[in-house]
Structure 1
């Protein structure tokens, strides 16, 4: 895949050298609060950078000026030409429109060049920033799934169940 260029960002494949930037945000409890994993150690970030460099579903979101990785997008193919979008961003760079800008650029690329028909995204119902981003992207809320996923436990080892929203957009609905 060629790089996707937007106004302020470059969206590209991960490189193993990206581990420090990856560690910077994946070691932040607030950033991974709604993710299916806990905070990363430096060693785990090094391993994850290698994993992501070999996984076509992960994209590094980099500042155009400096090349710094400030977050990542996930874009995985499912059944029936439906793809799933996900995103995680360094807290230091949140609130600046980078998630919107990079997601829009990737969605444009997907609909125009990859033959994608439908894109979905899921998030915890408590992750207001995430579902508001989906709405800004023009996605519609298709459902609320009650206690449908768990990947963390409480102090007693009991599962913490999450409710999830699912959002989606069809190629025919995309208005750039």
Structure 2
């Protein structure tokens, strides 16, 4: 089993496993159309759907096997303002996929970048990842900008590669290697 030493602390945030007590905070952003807009198959969630989501995330506190998701709650001012995750995609290739979702009321201050930086640092430094990639809808400029701030380079634009809400959509793929991470190619959070 592989997991960070919790909590992970940054200058302004605490990253820790999701608990059932996080329901109200998670529901506050999962119910918003502007938050789920770019998520595949996602619609704004009801409170019961958010409860199921939170319960699922409570079991994602470590990597036990390839394919597992490590999900952390991002806490600022005693509230969960977002979620950051790493999915262990390949043990052999030491690869993971980055995911994130944040409450828009906390945008524009570098908090999402700060949280993702902390989890990526664990992945590269403690776990020994070789490569981390992230994907987003071709029109999801906010996610694309965040991945660029983290130092991930755009590797591909898969044109009309998947059906998204009934329309063919482009998918952007970003990635960073451990040597790039260690060299500090990322833009530090402000």
Would you call these one fold, judging by a TM-score over 0.5? yes
Are 1:40 and 2:45 an aligned pair? Answer: yes
1:29 counterpart residue number: 33
Give the Cα separation in 1 of the matches to 2:37 and 2:156.
22
**Which of 103, 114, 125 is 2:116 aligned to?**
103
* C-alpha deviation, 1:58, in angstroms: 1.5
- TM-score with structure 1 length normalisation? 0.91
Q: For structure 1, which runs of at least 5 residues remain unmatched after alignment?
A: 153-158
The number of aligned residues is: 168
Give the Cα separation in 1 of the matches to 2:175 and 2:139.
18
| CA-based RMSD | 1.2
SS class of match (2:113): helix
* C-alpha deviation, 1:103, in angstroms: 0.8
Flag as ranges the 4+ runs of structure 1 deviating above 3 A.
Answer: none
1:52 counterpart residue number: 57
1:9 counterpart residue number: 13
SS class of match (2:35): coil
SS class of match (1:122): strand
SS class of match (1:8): coil
Give the Cα separation in 2 of the matches to 1:108 and 1:71.
18
Give the Cα separation in 1 of the matches to 2:22 and 2:164.
26
Give the Cα separation in 2 of the matches to 1:163 and 1:98.
27
**Which of 95, 99, 102 is 1:86 aligned to?**
99
**Which of 111, 135, 138 is 1:125 aligned to?**
138
1:150 counterpart residue number: 163
Give the Cα separation in 1 of the matches to 2:57 and 2:162.
24
* C-alpha deviation, 1:16, in angstroms: 1.1
